[in-house]
Amino acid sequence: MSPQLLFKRLLLALPTLFGVGLVVFILMRVVPGDPIAMMIPPGASPQDIATLRAHYGLDHSIAVQFGIWVKEVLHGNFGTSITFRQDVLGLIGERLPATLELGIVAMLLACVLGGVVGVLSSAWHGGALAGLLDGGAALVQSIPDFLWGLVFILVFGVLLPWLPVSGRLDPALSQDAGTGFILLSNVARGRWDIVGSLLSHMVAPALALGLPVSAMLARVLKASMQEALGSDYVMLARLKGLSGTRVLLREALPNAITPTLSLSAVQFAFLLGGTVLIERLFSYPGIGSLAITAVIGRDLPLIQAVVLTFAVLFISINLAVDTLVVALNPRLRGSKA
């Protein structure tokens, strides 16, 4: 992707973010419920309620509130959380690294599982094992991530208590918060006791998030590989006497992986959205569980900021993968699409 096209895509992202912000802002104002009523103690005077409403800017019309909010956001001020009484941007900065680490681990699991199943299913195409893999992938894909989460809590938390199913880190292990990317920072420091604890806490929620995605990737990869295996250049490779495994991995797979990579980008963005329920199920302290807390508490500044954060992630991931796809496929470098 050329720098000019990348710049245009970035400019197009701005009205998208504005639209997301506008829709969420209006929805949060028109749904029933008063966030101030959830904050005040019993017996609060009308004057106290009016003061609190003015403090959060809720005494203006929706249009004026939106204008004030946009102006403040452009200056980097997302407001103060009604529930936590803290700066919203600071709260998101504390929780977002945990969600990103969980999402990346889940996506890596999905890519590995989906890649292995897709390649094996393609290699054994037409046989009983391929049918078994295809049926298993369809079954795995049909079960949503939160149901997988409940299954893993039952299995790993009750029947076979091999893995922790709550929290992010063993409480006995002290850890400086730092940047929040405590998995990456401890890998760099060689603190394998903390890394082991972090990964053991991630296995169940990451599998719950990644399994449905892995099944989808496997099916798309298999379809792409079947198409590649019927192409002329693969036929030519076979005529040259290359082994079946080499034809599969060196000729078909590199050409079939591009559509799978594009799908991975979209699925990674949706996978991050799925953390909202999964983090709540596993008491994982990320931005997903923060979003649920914000919705329950009608925490308007926090809800708006969390939704905008997910929108920025979605746009950024798609831009990054579009750029990567073009870099991997020279034929697309001159495309204006």
Domain holding 234: CATH number? 1.10.3720.10
pLDDT at 199: 93
Residue 150 domain flag: yes
Residue 46 domain flag: no
Range of the domain at 261: 97-297
| 80 strand-pairing partners | 87
Give the integer Cα–Cα distance in Å for 42 and 15: 43
Residue 11 domain flag: no
What's the number of CA atoms in the CB half-sphere (13 Å) around residue 145?
30
HEC assignment per residue over 221-233: HHHHHHHHHCCHH
Residue 169 has a CB neighbour count (10 Å cut-off) of 19
pLDDT at 337: 45
Residue 128 domain flag: yes
pTM of the model: 0.84
Q: Are 34 and 12 in contact (CB under 8 A)?
A: no
Q: What is the pLDDT along the chain (337 residues), one digit of tens a residue?
A: 666 777 777 788 888 889 998 998 888 887 776 767 766 666 777 787 788 777 777 788 888 888 888 888 899 888 888 888 889 999 999 999 999 999 999 999 999 999 999 999 988 888 888 889 989 999 998 999 999 999 999 998 889 888 899 998 888 886 666 778 888 888 888 889 889 999 999 999 999 999 999 999 999 999 988 888 888 888 888 888 778 888 888 888 888 887 787 788 778 888 988 899 999 999 999 999 999 998 888 888 899 999 999 999 888 888 887 777 777 666 555 554 4
Residue 60 domain flag: no
pLDDT at 2: 64
Largest CA distance in the chain: 87
User: Which residue in this structure is represented by tokens 């029933």?
Assistant: 32
Give the integer Cα–Cα distance in Å for 94 and 180: 6
Residue 45 domain flag: no
Give the integer Cα–Cα distance in Å for 151 and 31: 33
Q: Are 225 and 125 in contact (CB under 8 A)?
A: no
Give the integer Cα–Cα distance in Å for 190 and 176: 15
| 293 strand-pairing partners | none
Residue 314 domain flag: no
- Residue 275 makes CB contacts below 8 A (sequence gap 6+) with 99, 102, 103, 209, 284, 286, 287, 288
Residue 281 domain flag: yes
Give the integer Cα–Cα distance in Å for 275 and 266: 15
User: Which residue in this structure is represented by tokens 């040259």?
Assistant: 240
Number of independent structural domains in the chain: 1
Residue 144 has a CB neighbour count (10 Å cut-off) of 12
User: Which residue in this structure is represented by tokens 């390649």?
Assistant: 119
